[in-house]
Structure 1
Amino acid sequence: MTDTVLVLGARSDIGLAVAHRFAAAGHPVALALRDAAGFEAARADIAIRHDVSVTLHDYDALDTEALAGFVDSFEPAPGIVVCAVGTMGDQATSEADPAAAARVMRTNYEAPALVLERFAARMEAQGHGTLVGISSVAGDRGRAVNYVYGSAKAGFTAYLSGLRNRLSDTGVHVVTVKPGFVDTRMTEGMDLPGPLTARPEAVAEAIARAVARERSVVYVKPVWRAIMMLIRAIPEPIFRRTRIGS
């Protein structure tokens, strides 16, 4: 039986690309997002184009009180859960507005971690499954230009690493995906370097390969692994005076 793929944050460009990629491979797809009823056209397009079952599910990542009911509504648990929940936010706004900073932190770390933890428990009980978390190279080292966003992604990366370690002998696999720059609505208007920038479809393809091959940590563009290795190696007394990416 082909695993059902649940996409959390399906309205995002990456989430939608992931849905199309797995549907094209014959997977039934469940799309979770706010105002799910308003996503019917996209649901129908995926279902008709790929001839698979596609369902819509209301999901507000920041509504922790509704989390248990949302996760328990899937019976059995999906075989693959891809969390594409996230928001870039604005560094200057986060510095000035604690509520804005809290939203960036909650959306990029707290919400993804809490929902994946519940699905991890369901999958562990079943003895199989794959959890995919989309983190960021921004979490590999804090930088002045986006340290609120980066700190949340660092937390999420650490969470995924710990979860993978905990579940190592359970039949449940955890994948951490670090896309680098991605040409999406979230980065619209930014001056992105072409050679370092991926398309949402490339991220979806990298996720599909990682799931199939049981990879643990994936940099969508391999060059990012080398770049971040170099950035992490810069001694702190030197790094604190740099403005990389500014």
Structure 2
Amino acid sequence: MTDTQKTLLVLGGTSDIGRAVAHAFAKAGWRVMLAGRSLEALGREAGDIGTRTGVPVTTHVLDILQTESFADFLDGLQPSPDVVVSAVGLLGDQGRAESEPAHAAEVYRTNFEGPALILDMIAARMIARGSGTIVGISSVAGDRGRASNYAYGAAKAGFTAFLSGLRNRAAGKGVQVITLKPGFVRTRMTEGMPLPGLLTAEPAEVGKAIFRATEGRRDVVYVRPIWWLVMKIICAIPEGVFKKLKL
């Protein structure tokens, strides 16, 4: 470990995408911090990454719904991370969200409230020191609400708007804020879903895209560029026609 070694913090470090992000940065020599709810699961991931790459990997317990714990969590991070990636997410079940307010609240809080609150606190610390990069993993589902997943989509729409505002707040203060939209990704969260090959990325592909994004200047990144065109078309459909599609 050297004083010049950069540090990555992954929120949602045991998710498929979080793990892929950690591997991408570790392979480039970055120190890695993994945060998540299960210390046991984090330990397994840390051991695997450390063995494969030889970089220091630490584990940190964080429940994104326990917002009162955020300040202590951030105070305990040493050193302060140079890049923070929020890979927290919960697809949930749309049918349950329509009939069970508690489930809907969990979807909203996991995908929007928790990540937004902690990233706001992280941004304040980065702005104070004049450097840092934040990557929020949002979703194309937030670009337009659809009947099949509007609870998840609404939460991601809020998160996308939050990241846009945070980016505006941080502009000119040495802090980069990136909105990443993966589209379909072959993960445990999408297991069993019929995923179109052309539009579906692998977790490693997302991890590499995030690493490249932190070295560039783009504000909004679609992992597969075709999603930009797909969503432009979907968002351009008149509301009267869109209601009949039942997507």
TM-score for both structures, normalised by structure 1: 0.97
TM-align CA RMSD: 0.9
Q: SS in structure 1 opposite 2:55?
A: coil
What is the match of residue 120 of structure 2? 117
Distance in 2 separating the partners of 1:157 and 1:225: 15
Q: Do 1:77 and 1:122's aligned partners in 2 also have CA atoms closer than 8 Å?
A: no
What is the match of residue 212 of structure 2? 209
- How many residues are paired up? 244
Specify the code of the residue in structure 1 equivalent to 2:187: T
Distance in 2 separating the partners of 1:77 and 1:42: 21
Q: SS in structure 2 opposite 1:31?
A: strand
Deviation, structure 1 residue 73: 1.3
Deviation, structure 1 residue 65: 1.1
Out of 232, 235, 239, the residue aligned to residue 236 of structure 1 is: 239
Q: SS in structure 2 opposite 1:110?
A: helix
What is the match of residue 13 of structure 1? 16
Distance in 2 separating the partners of 1:102 and 1:203: 27
What is the match of residue 105 of structure 2? 102
State the Cα deviation string for residues 93-145 of structure 1 (Å, max 9, x = none): 10010000000000000011011001001101110000000000000000000
* Runs of 4+ displaced beyond 2 Å: none
What is the match of residue 169 of structure 1? 172
Distance in 2 separating the partners of 1:25 and 1:234: 42
Deviation, structure 1 residue 76: 4.2
Where does 1:214-225 land on structure 2 (aligned, <5 Å)?
A: 214-225=217-228
5+ residue gaps, structure 2 = none
Larger mean Cα displacement after TM superposition, 37-46 or 91-100: 37-46
Distance in 1 separating the partners of 2:171 and 2:5: 23
Distance in 2 separating the partners of 1:116 and 1:39: 21
Q: Do 1:141 and 1:232's aligned partners in 2 also have CA atoms closer than 8 Å?
A: yes
5+ residue gaps, structure 1 = none
Q: SS in structure 2 opposite 1:26?
A: coil
1:28 and 2:31 equivalent? yes
Distance in 1 separating the partners of 2:105 and 2:208: 32
Deviation, structure 1 residue 75: 3.9
1:80 and 2:92 equivalent? no
Q: Do 1:183 and 1:199's aligned partners in 2 also have CA atoms closer than 8 Å?
A: yes
Deviation, structure 1 residue 214: 2.7
What is the match of residue 59 of structure 2? 56
1:194 and 2:197 equivalent? yes
Q: SS in structure 2 opposite 1:241?
A: helix
Percent identity between the aligned chains?
57
Distance in 2 separating the partners of 1:25 and 1:141: 36
Specify the code of the residue in structure 1 equivalent to 2:205: A
Specify the code of the residue in structure 2 equivalent to 1:122: R
Distance in 1 separating the partners of 2:92 and 2:41: 24
Specify the code of the residue in structure 2 equivalent to 1:174: V
TM-score for both structures, normalised by structure 2: 0.97
Out of 41, 47, 65, the residue aligned to residue 68 of structure 2 is: 65
